[in-house]
Structures are given as structure tokens and as C-alpha cells.
Structure 1
């Protein structure tokens, strides 16, 4: 390479097995020629020691960026010939990845970087193709997956998210963490996942939406667990009735009225007790001008009171009274909710014996969509990995370890006396970190600050 000057710092690369020959600095890169310090002493084919130099070749290897510039290494790789077997071979290059033309430390850097940042950005920074980044990312995630051991929750949540198509979401309800993302919500997929859970018999409760394949998968894999329909999804159906009537009324309104009804629709969906004075005034105006909408809103509010009941029996009685108050028109508006109660009553009222909910998964869905927006065109596997292995989002809990058994060594008796060495005990309480999943608060913070 022409125009190179002697490197002023011998340890510029911090690769102790190499000697720098020349350094050429351009506007956006360092081009560094180097060679190994120690030549091989035996043949790589027969282990013979009678080897002679047989030429060189230049190998171009990418390395970690330095001072904001890309780095290309030009190794003068020596070739040798064995006098014993007659074969030739090249010396090994320490610290160079055997599968790629780059250093091991660059490979180790690209994997985690590709989790935090878009593939295209990482590829641009180090001067490789986006496909190369994807391949390294895949290998890195595969290694992480092999060692991932998330504690099986006692309260497990099942939900869904749309990433191109519906995907399964598994959560730890008690810890408010993301446990896993499944490629789909099919019964076979969910059942297989639940069957693979370590110590799956420890799952006591499963909260979910009204998706029959989820219920059947839990019944098959976790027969000991109580299924609780998440109240978030039940109440969502009640709000959907208000939305349905609002959209029907919209057809007969002027453009200005439609715009107002669309803008103010949140006051119809919000709990009346939570409305501000201004919102309450808006609601009263719409209820007064559109009595049908007001009646549906009143029934929605009344249904929400179901979850103020103290027991399953009281909730059943409350629902029967509420349903009997519906007119045929009301029943049409609340048809989805009525059908859900008929098919899922046992699991809906199970909430009153086990008041657990994974309503926070709606926030999780927003996080996943935000991640999707950051990297359009990513595969599901890539998006899943970015959610599960983002740096600093793993939530751990410490659990006590069992006390160690006493270690005694008896000494021979002396006369009538018998002596023993002091008992060696482990600590009364020891702790080890337990992975309980991805902390959604930490994940949200990373998204908001642009770290992910």
C-alpha cells in the first residue's frame, strides 16, 4: 500500500500477537498492515517440525471502529511447506474469526449492537453488508437462547399482539414482565410452548383473553391451573358497544358534528367517575343530544360496576339483573359481550376468587409496536430478539438457597471423651439471581430515550 508511514504507537491495535508494519489514515478509515509475532513451529497436517517458508499472501480483515473511523487490517499471512509430508499451509491468525473476514472482537461487538440498533446503522458503521450483520445477529441470539432460563411464573399471562399477523405474548403477571413472544397463537404452538416450560406444575393461575385455543392449550399442558379471563378484555367489549352505536349515529350527522363526535369519543369510553369537569360537560351534551348513545353509555357504566362485586356469586347475580334490563336494541349493541359471557362465564367470574389481571400487556403491545416502527422490514425473530435481549431490561429476583448440610469429621475417642471438629456450615441464607423476564418499565424507558 503506497503512502503509508510508520506507526507511532506499536500497540495501536491492542492485539498482542501482532506487530504493526504501517498505518494509513484516510477521512473515514484506518488501513493498518500487520503480521504475527510468532511463526508456527510444526506442520498443521502431520505435526512435523521440518517446515520452511513458502511465500506470503495479504489477507484483509475488518476490525472494530477506532476514533469514529472504520478499521481495515492487512495481515501479511505466511505460507509454509512441510518437508516431511510435502504439503503447504498458512499460519493461523490469532483473534480472527475463522468463519468471517473480521476479528473476533468485531463479531462479539456486532451481535449486541444489532440488538440495540437497526441492522443498517450497524452495517454502515463497521463497513459490512446488512446481511452480514443479520447473520452475526442470528448467531448471537441463538447463543443467548441456548442459555436463557426464565423462571416459570406462578401467575402466567397469555395475550396477543399484531406484528404482521397475530402473535402470542407470554407474561409473568406478578412481576409485570415479558416472558416470551410466540410466532402465532395457534393451539399447537401454545401447547408445545407450555409443555416445554420447566416445572410447569408450579403455574397456579393463567389470565388470558377469550381465545379458545389458549384455553384448550392451558387445559392440555397446565391442567392444575385456574383460567381467569382478564377483566381488561371483558370491559373492552362493553366499550366496544358504545363505539358501535357511536359509529351508527355518525352516518346521520353533519361533517362538523361527526368531527366533534370523533374528537370527544374518549369521554364516552372513560369511566364517568374519572371525568374532569370539562369532560363531564361534554358527556352531558352528547347524552342530551343523542339519547340512544346516552342510554348505551349508561348501560356500559352499569356493567363496569360488575367488577365492584365482592364474590363470584354476587357477580353472577349482578350480571343477571343487568342483562334483564336490556331491550332488544340494547342486546344488539352488546351482542359480543352477551355471547362472551354465555361461553366464558365460569372463567370470567373466576376473577372474583382470583383477582389477577394482565391489563398492563396493553402497554406491552405499545412497546412492541414502537420497536416494530424502529425497524421496518425486520423478521419476527429479529423483533422478538430485540425485545427479549435489549441491554439492561432483564428483571431478576433473588431467592434463598437451602442451608447446607453440616460437614463433620469425627476424631478417634480418647478415653471416655469424644471430640469432633467444628461444624462447617454454609451461610444461613444464600441468594442467587433468578431471571423473571423483561422489565417492561425499563424497556419503555429505552424506547422513549431512543436507546433501542
Structure 2
């Protein structure tokens, strides 16, 4: 391998027509200080004399039909190495076509027209954007401006198109995600591998059907299970759009619904007590976790310390103290514990008995039972099948972390793109992503515009 090829490899370039200038003592770069912060830069010098086959203006065959019309020197930013910014001063040959008399300069696939960002550096920007770091940190690492990184990612986000040709998995988990104040998105992930399928900006029934209808029917028929919560907007469109799939209500949301009813009844009871220093009030307020804990995890043979009242009590004595004050709370608490037992034993028959024997008491649990009955078929699938929404809850945590890292996003388009970029293709970015970038730029601010269909590479 020649010295020139070795230098090309070290700086991430691939065009062998780039010839580096090497001094008599073998130096091919120099360490200089640049910028207002006087940071150290490795500067290279090279020449480019590539002659295209045809004139880019008139298409005339240039084999021997051109003049040498001087040179132009441009400065390009290369990927950072060992903390040093690398800059290439490239002297490019200018040519004049004998037919149309127009001039043009030598071009290389490693650089974009009218931009100082080289393709290897662009690759590095996109690769760093896949990590959980802010745009300012990316700019600091690569020694470029934050606005440059922001514009590159923003135009990538504008050109993004959902890949509706991608095969859907057999298990899909769906949920909502808060991406701005009072704005919820609709997300789908692979229920087996936790890979993000797509995230959409709205979650209404009409919009969900519109999004999913872009997938071919044969593709949607491959889905066997769809796991969701009890959101009324989801069940109807999901049943229509995935005709062969069983709709499964996530088991956690089944328990959570009854738990919230117990909490609501407890708070209502607590507010009816006028004496805020009474023993019962302090027991209800300070020990709320005790009243939603699974009884199977409570040792009833030993007294435990209760905050607020600051004394030891047997768990059953504490419960009887509250039950004597409110029969409604007693019924709701027992229904909640019965749902926990049925879920723990995965017995749908026990759950059905709870629904059939329940007597309305004008409490929050009444609405819970009605919701259970309305979604009974999907709840039955939850008892019989294994898939759950545990994976998508982990994805939601990662999405929230992306927002916290950037201290929020003013533009939801950029937020969605960072989500997709960090959750799609998590191991390595496909090299074809860079190849799909066009060479056209905006003349006003010289930023790269992404006009290609890039979802295939994500």
C-alpha cells in the first residue's frame, strides 16, 4: 500500500485521485491552532485533478477537448482523530470545455458541492446522533458549530419517509407517547425484539387507520398479536387494520385500572374526615402504599410500623380500622386484591367470577368493572397469551431520556428524527445512508439538503 493510500484511509477518504503533498522529510500534515478558542488542528494539503468524461454543462465528450484553466483551493472538514480537528486544504484543477467555453472544477465523491463538510465527517455526525448525546456535545466533539449540526439533522428529518414496505412482525406492541405539552404520538414496536417499527404524531382513530392503511393488506395479515392498553381509540382501528391478529390488553394496565380505583376511593374517604389529626386520617394519608400492596407480599403474622400514627399494628387490624369506616373502600379493596390473585394465577375463570358477582356501590370501581366487561375478549387473551407491553414501556423510557438529554425539543420533527435515529438500526448505520445524500445545497446557508428516500437505510 502506498503512503498516499495510507493517508486516505487514516482520514476516512476513498477517492484515490486525491494526492497528498508530502514534504521532503516525510511530513504530510502540520499541527496548527485555529479558531477563537485556539484549538489544535491537523491540517493536510492535497490536489485533485479528476477529469470527468463529459462536460457537466453541455455533455460534450471531454477526451482531450479541454483547457487547463487554473486551480481553486477549498478547505474541507474531516473526521476528528484523537481529539484533533482535521482540515484538508484541497487544490482542485479547473477546466474549460472547448465546445461551450464554460469552466468547471474537478469533483470528488468524498465531498458535497458548496459545503465544507466532507462525507466521512457527515457519517460521523449521523453516527454520533445515534447516541444519547445532545447536538451541542456533537458539535463540541467534532469542532463544528452547533447550528451546522442542527441544520444537518433538521433537513434529514424533513426528508424522512416511513418505510411502509418493511415486513411487519407477528407480535406488535402499541402505545402512546407524550412528545409535547398536550400532544401525544402513536408508536409501534416489535413485540419480540423491541425494535421500533414507527412513531406517528397523532393517535386518533381516524389517523391510526390512515397510517396503518399504507401497509399492504397481506403485510398486515402477518400480524398475529397486537398488545395495547384499554384506550378506546385503539381497539376499533386495530381490529380492522390487523384482521388476523388477537388484541391483547396489557396485564399491567388491567391491574393499574383497579389500583387507581382503590386510590380514588381512599382519597375520597380521606377528604370526608374533618379531623386531620385523627388516627384514621393519618393512617390513610401516610400509608397509601400499604393499601395497594398485594396481600400475598404482606406478612400478616407480624406487626408492622405504620407512619403517621407512629405505632406497630397487625396488617389486618389496620385494614379493619378503615373497613369499619367505609364499606365502599372495603369492597373496592377486596375486588382489587381478587383481580391481583386472578392475574397472579393466570386464571380467567376467577376473573370472570369477580365480574359476575360484583355489586355496584357508586364508587370508582363501578366504572372499572364496566371497562373490564367492555374489553372482556381482549382481557381473556391477556390471561391466555404471553405477549405484554413491557418492552414498549422500556422504549418509552428511552424516548423520554432523548428529550431530557436535549432539555426538550422546540421542533417535534427533530425530536421524532432523533428517536428514529437512536432506535432504528442501533448497531451500525448503513453506509448507503451517506450515499443517498445529494450534492445539491442551499446557496444561502450552504447546508446539505436530504432529498432521497432514506428510510430503507434506517
TM-score higher than 0.5 here? yes
Deviation at 1:363, TM superposition (A): 3.4
Consecutive unaligned residues of structure 1, counting only runs of 5 or more, are 1-8, 395-437, 439-452
Partner of 2:92: 77
Q: Deviations over 1:41-94 (max 9, x none)?
A: 775443343433333333222111123022232223333334443222222245
Structure 1 residue 25 corresponds to structure 2 residue 32: yes
CA distance in 2, matches of 1:207, 1:14: 45
Task: Work out whether residues 123 and 133 of structure 1, in 8 Å CA contact, stay in contact via their aligned partners in 2.
Answer: yes
Q: CA deviation at 1:238?
A: 0.6
The aligned runs of 1:234-313 (5 Å cut-off) are 234-251=254-271, 252=273, 253-254=276-277, 264-275=287-298, 282=306, 283-284=315-316, 286-291=318-323, 292=326, 293=329, 296-307=332-343
1: CA distance between counterparts of 2:303 and 2:78?
A: 60
What CA deviation, in whole Å up to 9, does each residue of 1:151-201 have, x standing for no partner? Answer: 423232222222222222323334455433232212233223433446221
How far apart, CA to CA, are the structure 2 residues paired with 1:310 and 1:84?
82
SS in 1 for 2:168: coil
Counterparts of 1:392 and 1:60 in 2: how far apart (Å)? Answer: 32
Q: Distance in 2 between matches of 1:383 and 1:353?
A: 37
Per the normalisation by structure 1, the TM-score is 0.71
Alpha-carbon offset, residue 270 of structure 1: 2.4
Greater displacement, 134-143 / 80-89 = 134-143
CA distance in structure 2 between the aligned counterparts of 1:231 and 1:269, rounded to whole angstroms:
16
1:264 Cα deviation from its structure 2 partner = 3.7
Cα drift, residue 240 of structure 1:
0.2
Which of the residues 125, 128, 132 maps onto 2:148? 132
| Equivalent in 348, 355, 361 of residue 319 of structure 1 | 355
Does residue 388 of structure 1 match 2:406? no
Partner in structure 2 of residue 216 of structure 1? 236
Structure 1 residue corresponding to 2:382, chosen from 351, 357, 363: 351
Alignment of 1:51-450 (within 5 A): 51-93=66-108, 95-98=110-113, 100-116=115-131, 117-137=133-153, 151-164=167-180, 165-175=183-193, 177-197=195-215, 199-251=219-271, 252=273, 253-254=276-277, 264-275=287-298, 282=306, 283-284=315-316, 286-291=318-323, 292=326, 293=329, 296-307=332-343, 315-321=351-357, 323-324=358-359, 326=360, 328=361, 331-354=362-385, 356-378=387-409, 379=412, 380-389=415-424, 391-392=426-427
Q: Is the 8 A contact 1:152 1:202 kept in 2?
A: yes
Q: Deviation of residue 110 (structure 1)?
A: 1.0
Unaligned stretches of 5+ in structure 2? 1-5, 23-28, 307-314, 430-457
Query: How many Å separate the matches in 2 of 1:203 and 1:85?
Result: 60
Q: Aligned residue pairs: how many? A: 383
Higher relative contact order (CA closer than 8 Å, sequence separation 6+) = 2
How far apart are 1:115 and its partner, in Å? 1.6
SS of match in other structure, 1:290: helix
Call closer, same or farther: CA 1:250–1:78 in 2, change over 3 Å.
farther
Note closer, same or farther for the CA distance 1:257–1:160 as it changes in structure 2 (3 Å cut). farther
